Homo-oligomer: A and B are copies of this chain.
Amino acid sequence: MRDALRGRILDGTYRPGDKLPRDADLATDLGCARATVQRAMQDLSDSGLIDRRRKGGTHVRSEPVTRAVLDIPVIRHEIEGGGARYGYRLQARRVAVCPPDVARRMGLAAPHRMLRVRAVHLADDRPYLAEDRWVCPRTVPGILTLDLETHSANEWLVRTTPYSHGEVAFYALGADAPLAAALDCAPGTALMAIERTTWIGAAPITSVVSVARPGYRLGTEI
């Protein structure tokens, strides 16, 4: 039923920009309940094919987008899932005032004392991902007493600190000297960076830039 509706849009019955009948009418046409149409429409809306607005009605998107859902697993699981042995090396841990760009990412008006953690995740003893993380101890006091030699901040946070929302960005980055050393590659090598910042309510939790080893790909089906 839902698939029938989806087909009706994809097969060209309705064209980009077209307005669709209201749910109730579509339900009558198709001989099904309104809730069914509603659910089908919700799906299509989630996939980015249509736009729905109360009172405005439902329209086929005239500017279609490719919507990709990316799963970014906990790094240990990604490495072990690839059949490699996971390792972790703490490189630096210190409390410091964060630079302005980190404060901006976190939505703070002014720089702030935070815990900075730099670490490298290893797959079969070879560098896989270098992370440079700032954690806000005002939001997550427990991080200050955690033994970061043995516990990855990454995993401790996901296990203990739920977040309400966050931002993710992907970009390419040329390896500078410290990154090249951490990832065991030539300076200037093109690397993929994932930047993530999370909050619980209005309180920032952490902001991290993770840089993957050369050749890393992030992929999914659409």
Contacts and interface: CB of A to CB of B under 8 A. Distances in A.
A77 B193 CA distance: 25
A97 B168 CA distance: 39
B159 A174 contact: no
A219 B170 contact: yes
Q: In the assembly, how many copies of this chain are there?
A: 2
Nearest to A15: B159
Interface in A130-169: 158-159, 162, 164-169
A65 B74 contact: yes
Closest 4 CB pairs of A and B: A169-B219, A190-B190, A172-B172, A174-B190
Interface of A: 10-12, 16, 46, 48, 63-74, 77, 158-159, 162, 164-174, 188-193, 196, 198, 214-222
